Amino acid sequence: MHIPLAQPYIGEQETKEIARVISSKRLAIGDTVKEFERALAEKFQRKYCVAVSSGTAALYLALKTLGIRHVIIPVLTCQAVLRAALNAGASVIFADVVPETHNLDLSSLSDKQLSEAEAIVVTQTYGHAADMDKLDHYLKKYNLALVEDFAQATGGYFKDRILGSFGRVSITSFYATKNMTTGHGGALLMDDEELYLKCQYGSRYQASNYYQDLVPMNFMMTDIQAAIGLVQLSKLDTMVEMRRNLASIYNQELEAYQVGFIHEEPWTKHAYFKYAAILPSNVQKQAFIQRMGESGIEAGKLYDPPLHKTRLGIDFVGDKAKLPNAERLAGRTVSLPMFPGLSGDDVKKVCEAIKSAVNSGGDK
């Protein structure tokens, strides 16, 4: 038995669309990227979209075009967030997370830190939205720009608003295992025309405007990627529902083994990019992952260490931050197999393996 952590839900329709682009001989700067951008803007209720080559590129470009010099980022997230911020030339302020959803907790920061910052990057962690109402209070009080990184939450909602519709700039990733994929890829979404033109200019060769304060890069998406993306976008809601059905099986099973998980708050629709489980304190995480591996099941160590304890974080930001929630949760949180092609029976097999790994304390 082998149950992977993640797998794209991709097949004949995508193959057909790839073949169509190949026979058109228009692999780049063709109409398919434009069509994909239009479709993304419509889906995420934004005026403009710029498709790019990765989520990291999208986040870098968002911070760069906004001219952000000091940015707050949560530490229980992908290294890409830190990489993008540092490459954009911003100084980083690390923030702790709320234990319920592992999302950014601005109350962990001092008035001085909040006053110094110009923007926050909110990552909708694992697919569960941050409490956007609570964040709004800080955005207004400290005049912070909201950069919404919904790379993990494509297809999720906060109240009745789709994620991706909140940021001054919102960005996502279409990496192979994400809720929708183009292999590699990403997008920026915004309503401000000037910002849109600037992001276009910053990411490709064919932009019409010139901006003195920005040195452009080549972050272009190909038409082959966009063709895959259009099919994936049309399946996004179905794929998220498939993830949600699997999550409800996990929730039921795990309750019995004293394994914690992220409970879906009533104000969100969790998109379950990752199914995060929180191990009991007597279970040793590394040994647990190893035991699961011996049963043929991949479990992920997630964001351990958290960003402020990584080499990059220490070397480029410093090791002063004390963020107790993230530090405690990083040592206990694992991700379990989650992807639309997983069956309910597979989830039950995973849960059986969890039961025996937890009963033995994760020890060997």
DSSP label of 177: T
Q: Give the footprint of ligand PLP on residues 84-143 (CB under 6 A).
A: 123
C-alpha 81/C-alpha 55 separation (Å) is 9
Member of 40, 61, 63, 78 binding ligand PLP (CB under 6 A)? 78
Shortest distance (Å) from residue 222 CB to ligand PLP = 15
With contacts defined by CB under 6 A, name the span among 19-27, 54-62, 66-74, 248-256 that binds ligand PLP. 54-62
> Long-range contacts: 36-39, Cβ < 8 Å, 24+?
36/221, 36/226, 36/227, 36/229, 36/230, 36/233, 37/187, 39/230, 39/233
Fill in the amino acid letter for 234.
S
C-alpha 145/C-alpha 162 separation (Å) is 19
Fill in the amino acid letter for 1.
M
- What are the residues whose beta carbons fall under 8 Å from the beta carbon of 323, sequence distance 6 or more? 75, 94, 95, 96, 97, 108, 306, 308
Residue nearest to ligand PLP (CB): 55
Does residue 54 belong to the site contacting ligand PLP (CB under 6 A)? yes
Shortest distance (Å) from residue 283 CB to ligand PLP = 25
Give the number of residues in contact with ligand PLP, rule: CB under 6 A: 15
Shortest distance (Å) from residue 305 CB to ligand PLP = 16
Are the C-beta atoms of residues 339 and 6 closer than 8 Å to each other? yes
Does residue 200 belong to the site contacting ligand PLP (CB under 6 A)? no
User: For the chain, first and last CA: distance in Å?
Assistant: 20
**Three-state SS sequence of 21-84:** HHHHCCCCCCHHHHHHHHHHHHHCCCCEEEEECCHHHHHHHHHHHHCCCEEEEECCCCHHHHHH
Token pair, residue 343, equals 């069956």
Name which of 54 and 200 has its Cβ closer to ligand PLP.
54
Name which of 337 and 362 has its Cβ closer to ligand PLP.
337
Does residue 220 belong to the site contacting ligand PLP (CB under 6 A)? no
Q: What are φ and ψ of residue 188, in 5° steps?
A: -115, 140
Per-residue x/- mask for ligand PLP, residues 154 to 183, rule CB under 6 A? -------------------x-x--------
Using DSSP, state whether 124 is helix, strand or coil. Answer: coil
Name which of 291 and 308 has its Cβ closer to ligand PLP.
308
With contacts defined by CB under 6 A, name the span among 40-48, 148-156, 225-233, 241-249 that binds ligand PLP. 148-156
Token pair, residue 300, equals 């992920």
With contacts defined by CB under 6 A, name the span among 7-15, 55-63, 300-308, 352-360 that binds ligand PLP. 55-63
Using DSSP, state whether 324 is helix, strand or coil. Answer: helix
What order do you get walking across the sheet with 145-149 strand by strand?
48-52, 186-190, 169-173, 145-149, 119-123, 70-74, 91-95
Member of 6, 71, 130, 151 binding ligand PLP (CB under 6 A)? 151
Shortest distance (Å) from residue 53 CB to ligand PLP = 8
Name which of 54 and 353 has its Cβ closer to ligand PLP.
54
With contacts defined by CB under 6 A, name the span among 68-76, 78-86, 87-95, 160-168 that binds ligand PLP. 78-86
Shortest distance (Å) from residue 55 CB to ligand PLP = 2
Q: Give the footprint of ligand PLP on residues 316-345 (CB under 6 A).
A: none
Does residue 77 belong to the site contacting ligand PLP (CB under 6 A)? yes
The site for ligand PLP (CB under 6 A) is made up of 54-56, 59, 77-78, 80-81, 123, 149, 151-152, 173, 175, 186
